[in-house]
Chains A and B, each alone.
Chain A
Amino acid sequence: MISKTTTLVAGVAIAMTGLAAIAQEPDQDGTSEFRTFDPVAGELLNFAGSGDLAQTGGEAVYGAVCAGCHMPDGAGAQGAGVYPSLVENDLLAAPSYPIYLILEGQGAMPPLGGIMDDQQVADVVNYIRSSFGNDFNGEWGEATAEDVGETRQ
């Protein structure tokens, strides 16, 4: 896995500024590269990070990656094996466990520390800890980018 460096983070930031500008006026000034449909503003962040995730904020990060397996409503899914439900899940109470799993992966879940920066990991951890019937941020405190950085080491 590629470990995140400052240059990569800067790359994402630049890509996003450019896209934000396009997002306001898709197509009108001829700058949009889109040929087959007009994406809405949020969609322009899809695949914008080249190797990283461009989305920021817990909900957007969750929707862009985690929802694929844990499902948009956090209910998980079952086949020959299961993707665990995040709904009312006490394992999410302390931030350290979800931080660790996101960085290291486990079972079917790949490590995602290579495509998310510390803030993105902290944000998505706090999002799942305060969604899907969970309410852990008050009592247990919020995850911070620093917590994530320390877990990485």
Chain B
Amino acid sequence: MTMTRRELLGAVGMTAGSAAMYYAMASLGHAQDSTYQGRISLTGEPTNGRRVLVLGAGLAGMTAALELRDAGYDVQVLEYREKAGGRCWTLRSGDTYTDIDGVTQNVDFEDGNYINPGPWRIPYNHHGVLDYCKRLGVRLEPFIQKNHNAYLHRSDAFGGEPQRFRHVATDYRGHVAELLAKATNQGMLDAEVTEADRETLINSLRTFGHLNDDNAYVESDRTSQYRGYAREAGGGRDGAPVPSEPMDFETLLQSDLWRWLSEAETTSHQNAIFQPVGGMDMIAQAFAREVDDLITYNARVISMIQNGDTVTVQYEDRENGGDPVEMTADWCVCTIPFSILGQMDHNLPSAKAQVVDTMYYEGAIKFGLEFNRRFWEEDDSIYGGITYTDLPISLISYPSTDYFSDGKGVLLGGYVWGANAYQFNAMQPDEAVRWAVEYGSRIHPQYPEEFSSGVCVSWHKVPWTLGCYGIWQDKERDYAGVVEMGPDDRIVLAGEHLSYLPAWMEGAILSSLDAIAQLHVRATDSGAGE
């Protein structure tokens, strides 16, 4: 009989722990695999019009542009920004970023340092993103999601002292295994576990939780191999390691630190997980190398009208001003976030318009903090990974690249959702950074001494998305009608928000592939049109 960790927790009645796991899974990273089936094949000539307008040059828009162009369409892309990529974006030394309220931040990082204000990790099962990376020559490296030597921290636990992940994880597992072994031996699980299985269960708990022969989780050589020794093994004199003492169960349970133990265990966060070498926008740059000649930048689309067998789009030229420019095509792939599409002049069918209008956008803020040296590596032996905290910054993530390098290093100094994100959003960037530095200093006392410069991106202030990602009011009810290209439609909608992998690049790409597959069927259908 095998038991999952969840069942173990359930068996000892720790429903709070399971609730925390569910909470973790229900947040941004839904535990979803991808249905990507390999490179799309759009065969046949587009006989019902080959002119396609793609609105937005994020990953959804560029995927559509690349594939439709290859299939023989005459593609043009309109993009609000001065560059391609949309949310797939990196801020590097020398870059500037201007919020919707006109506040500009200069990224003063040392050469080569960067922060990804949006996407930062690619799960191994996001087959679409990974395939495009391979096709377009984007080099990937491991993203360290789980680091046993990073910290778990709550202000009201252990006097505010951060605890090493390996201590909390090993001790929690050990104590739970001990309790379960006790319960089994005391006959409390007789109804659930057959007599034959009881012994197997106890044996498995000894292995799983590192219990001794009396089924107790105690200070020992064995437990120290997992949680770490009080004095590590050495050579020569005083070489013998000194075992460390586990935390007692009650303190650990009450500390609440166990709530983060399964963060890295959804299929969207398990090893292996990747990042592009040099910043997430390496993906955007790779797409742009393919389709840059199709993109008109600084084009703010203001209307999108389908009538019979054409689509007419108007945009403002943000650089040169003047009257709106009008363009007409046979088909249109619109990847503009609904937060903005809802404000445009369009004549989408009312059922779709209704969803466009009611989808709201979640907020989030990320901080990139640069420090004079990599003190997390030099002083704390933390190489990549994430420290979780109940402070309003939520987490600190250490760079998964350039380990052991001299010079300055950049931390993700906070990644915040909900009530705290809204409050950070209402601050000016320098003020928000000041708070992020304050909170981080409670975990890493080196902060005040070593802090060099910081930037933050609050997604409700990003002028071209007005939010982080789209939330459906009632997805079960409305989804099918919105992603479907109706028989009278010349416009098909695509983007992260039109997928069951919301707030993942994979969702943007899969949505786009499905959209152009529908478009292609219509454009090549010899029975249609007339």
Q: How far is the CB of B26 from chain A (nearest CB, A)?
A: 12
| Closest chain B residue to A62, Cβ basis | B426
B96 contacts the other chain (Cβ, under 8 Å)?
Answer: no
Residues of A near B419 (CB, < 8 A) are 49-53, 115
Residues of B within 8 A of A51 (CB): 418-419
Q: A107-B343, A110-B362 are in contact. Are A37 and B438 (CB under 8 A)?
A: yes
Residues of B within 8 A of A49 (CB): 419
Q: Please give, as numbers and ranges, the residues of chain B lying within 8 Å of A83 by CB-CB distance.
A: 100, 466
Interface string of A89-121 (1 = CB under 8 A from B): 000000000000000011111111001000000
Cβ of B15 under 8 Å from chain A: no
CA distance A66 to B102 in the complex (A): 17
A residues less than 8 Å from B447 (CB atoms): 35-36
B426 in complex: contacting residue of A68, A79, A80, A82, CB < 8 Å: A68
Total residues of chain B contacting the partner, CB 8 A:
49
Once the chains bind, are B339 and A65 in contact (CB under 8 Å)?
Answer: no
- From B155, B340, B362, B434, give the contact of A81 (CB < 8 A): B340
Q: Would you call A69 and B423 a contact (CB within 8 A)?
A: no
Who on chain A is nearest to B365 by CB? A68
Asked whether A80 lies within 8 Å of B423 as measured between CB atoms, the reply is no
Taking CB as reference atom, which chain B residue is nearest A71? B101
Contact A36 B441 (CB under 8 A): yes
**Interface bits A48-90 vs B (CB < 8 Å: 1, else 0):** 0111110000000001111111010000011111110000000
Cβ–Cβ contact B471 & A80, under 8 A: no
How far is it, in angstroms, between the C-alpha of A37 and the C-alpha of B434 when the chains are bound? 8
B358 partner residues in chain A, CB cutoff 8 A: 106
- Asked if B460 is at the interface (CB within 8 A of a chain A CB), the reply is yes
List B contacts of A77 (CB < 8 A).
100-102
Chain B residues near A80 (CB-CB < 8 A): 80, 300, 336, 340, 463-466
How many whole Å from A97's CB to the nearest CB in chain B? 15
Which residues of the other chain, B, contact A35 by a CB distance below 8 angstroms? 438, 441-442, 445, 447-448
| Least CB distance, B268 to chain A, in whole angstroms | 22
Task: Give, as a whole number of angstroms, the nearest-CB distance from A96 to chain B.
Answer: 18
Take A36-B437, A107-B342 as given contacts and tell me if A67 and B360 are in contact as well, using a CB distance cutoff of 8 Å: no
Contacts of B155 in A (CB 8 A): 33
Contact between chains at A110 and B360 (CB < 8 Å): yes
Q: Are A68 and B425 in contact (CB under 8 A)?
A: yes
A17–B277 Cα gap in the complex (Å)?
A: 48
8 Å CB contact of B467 from A47, A71, A108: A108
Contact (Cβ within 8 A) A79 B435: no
In whole angstroms, how far apart are the Cα atoms of A36 and B390 in the complex? 19
Residues 338-359 of B contacting A (Cβ, < 8 Å): 338-340, 342-343, 357-359
B360 & A65 in contact (Cβ 8 Å cutoff): no
- B392 at the A/B interface (Cβ < 8 Å)? yes
Which chain B positions have C-beta within 8 A of A151? none
The CA-CA distance from A53 to B467 in the complex, in Å, is 20
B63 at the interface (CB under 8 A from A): no
- The residue that B357 contacts in the complex, of A50, A81, A82, A106, with Cβ under 8 A, is A106
Quick check: is B363 within 8 A (CB to CB) of the other chain? yes
CB–CB B101/A109 < 8 A: no
Verify if B97 is at the interface (C-beta below 8 Å from A): no
**Which residues does chain B contribute within 8 Å of A109, judged by CB atoms?**
360-361
Task: Choose among A33, A37, A69, A82 the residue that contacts B460 (Cβ–Cβ < 8 A).
Answer: A69
**Closest CB of chain A to B205's CB: distance in Å?**
35
List 5 other contacts, CB 8 Å, given A69-B466, A79-B463, A110-B363. Answer: A35-B445, A36-B447, A68-B427, A77-B102, A80-B336
20 example contacts (A-B, Cβ-Cβ < 8 A) are as follows A52-B419, A64-B426, A66-B426, A78-B100, A79-B463, A80-B464, A81-B342, A83-B100, A105-B360, A106-B357, A107-B338, A108-B361, A108-B466, A110-B361, A110-B363, A110-B422, A110-B467, A110-B471, A111-B360, A115-B419
CB-CB nearest 7 A-B residue pairs: A79-B463, A108-B466, A68-B425, A68-B426, A81-B340, A108-B339, A105-B360
